[in-house]
Amino acid sequence: MTRFESELPFFFGQDGELFGIYHAAAGAAAKAVLLCAPLGQDHIRCHRLYRQLASALAAAGIPVLRFDYYGCGDSAGASDEVDWDRCLDDIATAAAELRSRSSVDRVSAFGARLGANLALAAAPSAQLTDLVAWDPVMDGSAYVATLDALQDALRRDTHRFIRPRAASAAEGQWLGFAVNPGLRQRIASLRAERLTAPSLLIDSLGEASPDWHEWVPDPARLHRLRPDTPWDELSRIETAILSHPLVQTVVAHLRERAYA
């Protein structure tokens, strides 16, 4: 099997609505890893990094599935149909698909930003044994306010538009994607204390970092990544997010725990 043949794109789930790419690993694996994508523009920005991470994990002997939620990427559904509970169901469906394809029961997950929140929230139903979270959203209402402010700045941005656009042309959207009121409400209600703690928390928020210690008291489970990731900079919303140190950190952590 060539490297390309080991990365298989396919549709799965009920009515084949979900798109995923399975990265097979050579040899018998002790665990598999599910990559949970962030939502909206962060999904597009992280696509390359998720592919690199999946390839690196597979090369380390860990089979991986990365996939798109309903309404995201290549999966069925329109962008304005993205639903928080459906995303959680999709993670459970994807975890089952990964178990079936890899013949491995132990499934860990990695998620960036809202992908981390989704993985943490879906952990019980998807029976995820281990979670790596990269800059999860700890205060949903503040995050919603940030995205609203970015969206308002975007429509006024004369580097992008010749003239500022009317507020009505940009309402109900965050950085290129329509957002339905239900999703907006669920994101606004996110609170750290309601989440399962990850086995590794990767922080690259810099000065904007919250106090992680109440949530993750063990310093060994907190990894500070430099440089900071420009998640919420208007001028860089169409710039890919890449981080070789992140890939190295996650692979090292998950490989170590695969044999623990």
Partner 1 sequence: MREQAFRFGRARHLVGIAGLPPTAPGAVGVIVLNAGLVHRIGPFRLHVDMTRRLNELGYPTLRFDQSTIGDSGASGESQTRVQQVCADVDDAMALLHQHAACSRFVLVGLCSGAQNAHTVACGEHSHEKLDGVVFLDGYAYRTFGFRLRHYLPRLFNAKRWWRWLVRKSREVGGGGNEPVFGVAPLPQDVVRVDLKGMLDRGLKLCLVYSGGINMDFNHARQFRECFGSLMNRPAVSTRYIEETDHTYVLVDDRRHLIEHIEAWLQRNFPIAHAGASS
Binding-site ranges for partner 1 (CB under 8 A): 2-5, 7-11, 15-16, 19, 21, 41, 44, 47-48, 51, 72-74, 76, 78-80, 154-155, 160-163, 165, 169-170, 172-173, 175-178, 238, 240
Nearer Cβ to partner 1, position 6 or 129? 6
Nearest approach, Cβ of residue 170 and partner 1 (Å): 6
Nearer Cβ to partner 1, position 78 or 149? 78
The residue among 80, 12, 72 whose CA lies nearest residue 43 is 72
Nearer Cβ to partner 1, position 9 or 181? 9
Nearest approach, Cβ of residue 61 and partner 1 (Å): 20
Long-range pairs, 49-54, Cβ under 8 A, ≥24: 49/112, 49/240, 49/241, 49/242, 49/243, 49/246, 49/247, 51/21, 52/242, 52/247, 53/110, 53/246, 53/247, 53/250, 53/251, 54/7, 54/21, 54/23
Nearest approach, Cβ of residue 181 and partner 1 (Å): 15
Q: In angstroms, rounded to a whole number, what is the distance separating the alpha carbons of residues 117 and 195?
A: 8
Nearer Cβ to partner 1, position 50 or 110? 50
The residue count of the chain comes to: 260
Nearest approach, Cβ of residue 139 and partner 1 (Å): 26
